[in-house]
């Protein structure tokens, strides 16, 4: 029953070396797209914070309105859940997790959880900020493996023109 997960885990470990505080592999844009349920370009309309039941952990929910769906399907408004945030004067962060700013234009590589919200693929690798036509991944706090070899012709999660990012996502097979 859990064999596919086990195989995926084995493959991930066999193909890529470890990294600290982040994913084992440094993903290519194309690989992020392949592993995502949906890839959208959009705007962060609203940010709300939440706490765990014991009050010790803080969560952020970014409500994003897609202006373009580059892969998969997406509703007119979606909620992206990440750890960390600011509540009651207390700030918290999981190192390597993406953060959001209201009004920010973003490209997001997302998986849909069974609770209906979305998770960013590959921590900060899966969140690009778009400014003046340039898309930059949120690599702050991320550790990436140097052993991972990208497929020929693919590019890692790195700054690039948003048009190139879209082309790569749409072309990923």
Partner 1 sequence: MSRLLRALAACALLAPAASALAFARATTDRTELPSPALDLWWRPRQIAFQVNASDFVGAGCAGPEEAAAAVRASFPAWQDAASGGVACTDFMFNDCGATTRTDLGYDQGDPGNNVNLVVFRRGLCSLHADPLCQNPPLTARGRPDFSACIAKYNCWADDDRDHGSNTIALTTVTWLQATGEIVDADMELNGWNGDTSNPAGVYFTCTATTTLCSAVPYGASGCADTDVQNAVTHEAGHILGLQHVCTGAGDETGPCPAGGSVMEATADRGDLTKRTLTQDDVAAVCGIYPAGGRTVTGPTTGLPGQPAAQILVGVSSPQSCPVPKRDSGCGAGGGGALALLAVLPLALRRRRARRS
Q: How far is the CB of 106 from partner 1 (least distance, A)?
A: 11
3 state SS of 97? coil
Give 55 or 68: the residue with its C-beta nearer to partner 1. 55
Q: How far is the CB of 74 from partner 1 (least distance, A)?
A: 19
Q: How far is the CB of 105 from partner 1 (least distance, A)?
A: 13
Give 131 or 171: the residue with its C-beta nearer to partner 1. 131
What distance in Å separates the CA atoms of residue 128 and residue 9, rounded to the nearest whole number?
A: 26
Give 7 or 171: the residue with its C-beta nearer to partner 1. 7
- Looking at the DSSP assignment, which residues form a beta bridge with residue 58? 51
Count of beta carbons in the 10 Å neighbourhood of residue 68: 11
């Amino acid at each position: 029953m859990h064999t596919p997960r086990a195989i995926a885990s084995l493959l991930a470990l066999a193909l890529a070396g470890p990294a600290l505080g982040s994913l084992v592999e440094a993903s290519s844009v194309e690989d992020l797209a392949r592993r995502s349920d949906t890839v959208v370009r959009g705007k962060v309309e609203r940010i709300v914070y939440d706490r765990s039941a014991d009050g010790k952990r803080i969560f952020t929910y970014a409500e994003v309105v897609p202006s373009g769906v580059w892969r998969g399907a997406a509703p007119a408004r979606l909620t992206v859940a990440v750890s960390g945030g600011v509540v009651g004067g207390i700030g918290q962060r999981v190192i390597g997790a993406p953060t959001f700013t209201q009004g920010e234009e973003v490209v997001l590589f997302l998986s849909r959880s069974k609770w209906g919200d979305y998770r960013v693929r590959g921590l900060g690798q899966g969140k690009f900020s778009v400014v003046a036509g340039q898309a930059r991944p949120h690599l702050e706090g991320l550790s990436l493996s140097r052993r991972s070899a990208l497929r020929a012709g693919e590019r890692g999660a790195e700054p690039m023109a948003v048009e190139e990012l879209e082309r790569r996502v749409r072309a990923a097979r």
